[in-house]
Structure 1
Amino acid sequence: MRIGELGNETGVDIETIRHYEKIGLLSVPPREPNGYRNYETSHLERLAFIRHCRALDMPLADVKRLLDFITHPEVDCGEINRLIDAHLHNIRERLHSMQSLEKQLEVLRARCGDSHIVRDCGILSELVAASHKTGVKKD
């Protein structure tokens, strides 16, 4: 299959497929006599795996490590467990950060309950005041 078909089958953009080839996540396919790349089922399966890992927000370095494990099925999977544990830790930290952000925005939203002229907007007043507190220090 050609790159466009591979992209359609997996939902991965053509430029992303080329990038994955360039960084070694996806092997460069053989070329047909007319010069077109000929992707095989193995490319489709590998790209689908990469896409799924990326949908789980895994960094490309971790995806590469997981792909390396696939090619060495005889090794212990403890490192895979540690990789997923670290990813879970990062996700939980981000969730905590997002919850903190949500609370800050709720407090900010409570500063302006009704619609009125901008000059009297509590949200903008709070944002301006906060920017002055955290702005560039003067010498």
Structure 2
Amino acid sequence: MKIGEISKATGIPVETIRYYEKIGLVPEPERQASGYRHYRQSHLDRLLFIKRCRNLDMAQDEIRELIRLADQPDADCSEVDALLARHLNHVRERLRELANLEDTLQQLQKACSEGRTVSECGILGGLAAEPVEEPSAGGHNHVPGTHHHTPGTR
């Protein structure tokens, strides 16, 4: 199948498929005599696997590691379990960060009372005066591909 067909079948944009090829998550397809890429069922399966992992908010390095492990079907699955445990810890930490963010936003919203002007706005005053808490050193952020990994597990 051609790239447009595999894009439609997976719901993954053509540009993203090309990017996954470029970074090695998906093997480059063979080229037909016409120069068009020819995708096989294995490409479709890999793209759907990546899509499911991305839906679980896994980073590219995590997906790459899962693909590496999947290519060793007789190996012990403890590495897969460990990777998932690290990802779950990241998700839990992110949930705590979001709960803290929600609390801060609720406090700021309470600072605004009806009938006041923008110059008297408690929200804007709070944002201008209150220091915003920075994530702790070594803390996680939520930029894809920035999950922290234990050395030697990439």
TM-score by length of 2: 0.82
Task: Indicate yes or no: 2:47 matched with 1:68.
Answer: no
Q: Which has the higher helix share?
A: 1
Matched, 1:85 2:89: no
State the partner residue of 1:8. Answer: 8
Which of 1 and 2 has higher RCO (CA within 8 Å, sep 6+)? 2
Structure 1, unmatched stretches of 5+, are: 135-139
What aligned pairs does 1:1-139 form with structure 2 within 5 A after superposition?
A: 1-130=1-130
| Residues in 2 aligned to 1:62 and 1:47: alpha-carbon distance in whole angstroms | 15
In 2: Cα distance, 1:68 partner to 1:3 partner: 24
The count of corresponding residues between Structure 1 and Structure 2 is: 132
Letter in 1 for 2:94: R
Larger radius of gyration: 1
Q: How far, CA to CA, are the matches of 2:29 and 2:57 in structure 1? A: 26
Partner residue in 2 for 1:137: none
Identity among equivalent positions (%) equals 44
Uncovered stretches (5+) of structure 2, i.e. residues with no partner: 135-154
Give the aligned residue type for 1:113: S
User: What is the aligned-residue RMSD (CA, Å)?
Assistant: 1.4
Stretch moving more, 59-68 or 72-81: 59-68
Aligned-partner Cα distance in 2 for 1:9–1:81? 30
CA shift in 2, pair 1:18/1:122, >3 Å: same
The alignment partner of 2:31 has SS state of coil
Stretches of 4+ moved more than 4 A in 1? Answer: none
**SS of corresponding position for 2:92:** helix
Q: In structure 2, the residue corresponding to 1:34 is in which secondary structure?
A: coil
Quote the residue 2:141 is aligned against: none
